[in-house]
Amino acid sequence: MIKENKELTENIAIKAMPLPEKAYIPLIQHIGRPCDILKVKINDTVKTGQLLACAEASVSSPVHASISGKITAIGEYAHPILGKSTAITIERDINLTEEQFPLLDKSRINSFSPDELRLLIKNAGIVGMGGATFPTHIKLSPPKPVDSLIINGAECEPYLTSDNRLMIEESEGILKGIEIIAKILNVKNIYIAIEDNKAEAISVFKNAILNTQYTIRVLKTKYPQGAEKQLIYSVLRRKVPSGKLPLDVGAVVHNVATCFAVFEAVYKNKPLYERLVTVTGDILKNPGNLKVRIGTPVKDLISFCGPLKKEAKKIIMGGPMMGIAQFSDDFPVIKGTSGILVLSEDEVKEAQEGICLRCGECVKNCPMGLTPALISMAVASEKWDLAKEYGALDCVECGLCSYSCPVNRKIVQAVKYAKTKIKR
C-alpha cells in the first residue's frame, strides 16, 4: 500500500503567495504546439492577464502575463518538463495597479452559446489542470456525442492536496464551471468522483449539489484511481479499449481545478495566469497549498514554505509517483504544476538498479494489465515495435511498476521513453 502523506497539508487553507519580482512564462505549457506568435516585445509594459503569445495551430493554448511590469527578456529559460524552452521574462513594476476581474452578470453568462463558451475558454488559455495540460477547448469539442461527464476530484497522487482544498474552499466556482462544461457538451449524466479519504470535500459537495442533477461518486482510496481510464471504469463500469479514448465509450473527464479555471474564464473573463500548488515535504517548516502566479520561480515557493529543516536531496514537480524530478529549484511554475515536493536524503530511495528477477511484481501491480518488465527490455534493445506490441501506449504513467520493483528498475521511465519513440 502506498503511503499517502497528505496529512502534511490537507488541513492547511489556501494561501496566496506574494507576487514574484520576476515571472518567466514559457511559450509551451501544454500538450500540443508551442505558442509561436508573439504579441509583445522586449521593453513593452504588460498588465496581468494580457495576452503574450498564441499559435495558429489548433492543438495549442495561449499564454498570458501573470504580473504587471516590463518585458525584459525573450529567450531560453529552464522548463520543468522540457529542460529548456523559450520563455518571456516579466519584471514586476510595483507602480502598476493589478488588473481586477469582477464577476459578470449571470444573465450574460446564460446568453453565451456553446461555441462562444468554447472560444472564451480557448482564449483564456485553459488546459487540463490535473497535470495532463491538454487544451480544454479541444476536449470540449468531441467529434462524436458523449453521454457522461465525470469530474475528477480523486487526487490520488500521494502528498498532493490542492484539489482537495479547492473542493473545500471553492465548491461554488467549481459547480459553475461544471455547469458551463455540461452545457457545452450537452450531457445530462454528471458525476463528481472523490476518493473516500477526503471526508470534508465530500460533505461540502454533498450539500452543494442538493437540487442539482449531479451525482457524487465516493471512490475507494486506491492509487491510481484518478487516471482517466480507471476513473471511467470505477464510475461507469465502462472499459476504454486499448488505443481508444474516453469519448469512444461516451465519456469525458475534467479535473476539478480545470472546472474552476473554466468558471473564472467565463464568469470573470480571467485568463489562466495563476493556479494552486501544494508545496510539501517533511523537511519544509511551513508546507502548504499556495495560490501562485504562473512563471513564479519554484525557489521562491520553497523559501516561502521554509526554512528547510534539512538539506534537500530531491525536488519533484508533481507527486512522487507521476512527478518529474528536477535538477535544481531554478524553474518556473507552469500551468501543469500541481505540486512541488521537497525530499531529504532519508526519504529518497537511491538504491542501485539491479537485474530483473522476473518476479512479476510489476505485472501484478500494473493497473492497465501490461507487462512492464518486457516493455523495458524492448526499450533497452531499442525495439520500439515490440514495445508497442506489448502495449506501451496504454501506459497511464502511474509509476506503480517502478514502485513495486524489488531491484529498483527504472521501468516507468523506460515506458515513457518508449511512448515518445513510438509516437514519432
Name the binding residues for [4Fe-4S] cluster.
356, 359, 362, 366, 395, 398, 401, 405
Residue whose C-alpha is closest to residue 336's, from 133, 134, 136: 133
To the nearest whole angstrom, how small is the minimum distance from the Cβ of residue 29 to ligand SF4? Answer: 23
Rule CB under 6 A: say whether 379 interacts with ligand SF4: no
Find all residues with CB under 8 Å of 78, minimum gap 6, and list them.
24, 84, 328, 330, 331, 332
The strand ranges marked E within 331-391 are: 339-343
Residue number with CB closer to ligand SF4 (295 or 367): 367
Residue number with CB closer to ligand SF4 (261 or 401): 401
Contacts 24+ apart (CB under 8 A), 55-59: 57/32, 57/33, 58/138, 59/31, 59/32, 59/33, 59/135, 59/138
Annotate 150-185 with b (16+ C-beta within 10 A) or e (fewer): bbbbbbbbbbbbbbbbbbbbbbebbbbbbbbbbebb
Rule CB under 6 A: say whether 398 interacts with ligand SF4: yes
In the list 83, 115, 360, 380, the residue contacting ligand SF4 (rule: CB under 6 A) is 360
Tell me, residue by residue from 16 to 45, as one string, x for binding to ligand SF4 by CB under 6 A and - for no binding. ------------------------------
Q: Please state the residue numbers annotated as binding site.
A: 356, 359, 362, 366, 395, 398, 401, 405
CA distance linking residue 213 with residue 320, whole number of Å: 36
Residue number with CB closer to ligand SF4 (185 or 375): 375
Rule CB under 6 A: say whether 374 interacts with ligand SF4: no
Chain CA centroid to CA 90, Å: 24
Rule CB under 6 A: say whether 415 interacts with ligand SF4: yes
Rule CB under 6 A: say whether 378 interacts with ligand SF4: no
CA distance linking residue 177 with residue 260, whole number of Å: 6
Contact between 293 and 331 (Cβ < 8 Å):
no
Rule CB under 6 A: say whether 274 interacts with ligand SF4: no
In the list 62, 288, 318, 372, the residue contacting ligand SF4 (rule: CB under 6 A) is 372
Rule CB under 6 A: say whether 209 interacts with ligand SF4: no
Rule CB under 6 A: say whether 59 interacts with ligand SF4: no
Residue whose C-alpha is closest to residue 312's, from 322, 326, 323, 324: 326
In the list 4, 10, 170, 361, the residue contacting ligand SF4 (rule: CB under 6 A) is 361
Residue number with CB closer to ligand SF4 (173 or 372): 372
To the nearest whole angstrom, how small is the minimum distance from the Cβ of residue 224 to ligand SF4? Answer: 7
* Interface region with ligand SF4, contact rule CB under 6 A, candidates 24-32, 112-120, 184-192, 405-413: 405-413
Residue 317: strand pairing partners = 324, 340
User: Which three three-digit cell numbers place residue 68?
Assistant: 504587471
Residue whose C-alpha is closest to residue 118's, from 179, 190, 181, 61: 181
- State the number of binding residues for ligand SF4 (CB under 6 A): 29
CA distance linking residue 83 with residue 76, whole number of Å: 10
In the list 82, 359, 380, 422, the residue contacting ligand SF4 (rule: CB under 6 A) is 359
Rule CB under 6 A: say whether 169 interacts with ligand SF4: no
Contact between 283 and 157 (Cβ < 8 Å):
no
Rule CB under 6 A: say whether 400 interacts with ligand SF4: yes
Rule CB under 6 A: say whether 396 interacts with ligand SF4: yes
Find all residues with CB under 8 Å of 114, minimum gap 6, and list them.
183, 184, 186
To the nearest whole angstrom, how small is the minimum distance from the Cβ of residue 403 to ligand SF4? Answer: 8
Hey, which residues between 317 and 356 contact ligand SF4 (CB under 6 A)? Answer: 356
The length of the chain is 424
Residue type, 105: D
Residue number with CB closer to ligand SF4 (50 or 404): 404
CA distance linking residue 309 with residue 286, whole number of Å: 10
To the nearest whole angstrom, how small is the minimum distance from the Cβ of residue 388 to ligand SF4? Answer: 13
Rule CB under 6 A: say whether 71 interacts with ligand SF4: no
* Binding positions for ligand SF4, rule: CB under 6 A: 356-362, 365-368, 370, 372-373, 395-401, 404-407, 409, 411-412, 415
